[in-house]
Structure 1
Amino acid sequence: MSLQNSLTNFATRLATETNNLRNQMGALASLSTSDKASLVAAINELKGLIDTATGINDTATALSSTWSSTKINAEIIAARDALVNGAPGALDTLSELATALASNDGDIATILTAQAKRVRTDTASQGLLPAEQANARTNIDAVAKTDIGNPDIDLIAVFEAGLA
């Protein structure tokens, strides 16, 4: 089954279920006062939680805690140090790495050869052979255009048809 067929079936089913819910619930204007009050209670509960939220806590790592700028800067420095991973001072910047690579043309040629076979995003047509295209799709877990159906299908029309 193509992606187009799957999306069409999904949109139809979603529209049908939405239509069923709309018919069961009726208009929003018919909500009772107690239903509307529960929404206000939920908003007030959320406001209370926000009002009682704790301030800056550099020792906690929970999603509900907030670090100071000093702690954030220390974490950035630690991440940078981990990225450099103890490289000598002569190789800890991009400029120094470029200089080191330029001194060994054999490595550069190997890198350029490998780089030429990458899947490019800066050109509309790279000129890959069919086997290379298939390998690229496999490597990035993609499907061919012919496998997904019509990407221009009007899903709104499918949805509205399901509501009818």
Structure 2
Amino acid sequence: MSLIQRITDLAQRVAVECKALRTLVNGNAADLSALTTTAKGNLVLAVNELKSAIDALVAGGGAAINDATTTTTTTWSSSKIATEIGDEIATALAALTSGAPGALDTLDELAAALGDDANFASTITTALGNRVRVDAAQSLTTPQQVQARSNIGAQSAAEIGDPETNYVTTFNAGLI
């Protein structure tokens, strides 16, 4: 199957989903019985209903602070939140170094792993010079081009198909 056909199929599938979403938003054909709002068929009324509920919560003093548990009507205190976040950060930092083998958990050990090459940048630059560039034009022979495409799994222009295909037309056709 060509890339053009695959993209066309995708555009048609996206169009079908967009059409389904329009139907859902308009309340035309969806089963909205699971919604907890009383305004099941009108998105604007449902949002206004939610705003009214939030306004009532704020007017009543907001959510209660409860460090023992969290529910939809309670929250942790700022000190509990700071403690929990602090613990998460400490855990992440420990994981950053603790997960590394002992021989690679410091910068000195990383340098040793790179061969303590004082000219490491030059060594890497030379190696990168033998690679396909993505930031500048490069003159490659036909065999080099074929090898580069093969290495990255790319298709040739002939294999891709017509890049001038109008996918908006394809998308619009899927909405009909």
Q: Which interval holds the TM-score relative to the shorter structure?
A: 0.5 to 0.7
Q: Which structure is higher in helix share?
A: 1
The correspondence of residues 136-147 of structure 1 with structure 2, limited to 5 A, is 136-147=148-159
- Unaligned regions of 5+ residues in structure 2, if any? 39-49, 54-69
Please tell me whether the aligned partners of residues 97 and 105 of structure 2 are also in contact (alpha carbons under 8 angstroms): no
Q: Residues 88-121 of structure 1, C-alpha deviation per residue, up to 9 Å, x if partnerless? A: 9783476x999932369xxx55x55432221212
How far apart, in 1, do the equivalents of 2:33 and 2:105 lie? 65
CA 1:84/1:158 → structure 2, altered by over 3 Å: closer, same or farther? same
For 2:117, the equivalent position in structure 1 comes to 101
CA 1:84/1:134 → structure 2, altered by over 3 Å: closer, same or farther? farther
CA 1:162/1:75 → structure 2, altered by over 3 Å: closer, same or farther? closer
Per the normalisation by structure 1, the TM-score is: 0.54
Q: Residues 55-88 of structure 1, C-alpha deviation per residue, up to 9 Å, x if partnerless? A: 979xxxxxxxx95324423432542465584259
Please tell me whether the aligned partners of residues 2 and 148 of structure 1 are also in contact (alpha carbons under 8 angstroms): yes
How far apart, in 2, do the equivalents of 1:38 and 1:90 lie? 55
How far apart, in 1, do the equivalents of 2:153 and 2:36 lie? 44
CA 1:39/1:117 → structure 2, altered by over 3 Å: closer, same or farther? farther
CA deviation after TM superposition for structure 1 residue 3, in Å: 0.7
- Identity, in percent, stands at 25
- The answer as to 2:133 corresponding to 1:120 is yes
CA 1:100/1:153 → structure 2, altered by over 3 Å: closer, same or farther? same
Per the normalisation by structure 2, the TM-score is: 0.51
Q: Which amino acid aligns with 2:147?
A: N
Secondary structure at 1:68 match in 2: helix
For 1:3, the equivalent position in structure 2 comes to 3
CA RMSD of aligned residues (A): 5.0
Please tell me whether the aligned partners of residues 16 and 162 of structure 1 are also in contact (alpha carbons under 8 angstroms): yes
- The answer as to 2:146 corresponding to 1:129 is no
Structure of higher RCO (CA pairs closer than 8 Å, 6+ residues apart): 1
CA deviation after TM superposition for structure 1 residue 28, in Å: 2.0
Name the count of aligned residue pairs. Answer: 144
For 2:161, the equivalent position in structure 1 comes to 149
CA 1:7/1:37 → structure 2, altered by over 3 Å: closer, same or farther? closer
Please tell me whether the aligned partners of residues 84 and 92 of structure 1 are also in contact (alpha carbons under 8 angstroms): no
For 1:160, the equivalent position in structure 2 comes to 172
How far apart, in 2, do the equivalents of 1:26 and 1:70 lie? 43
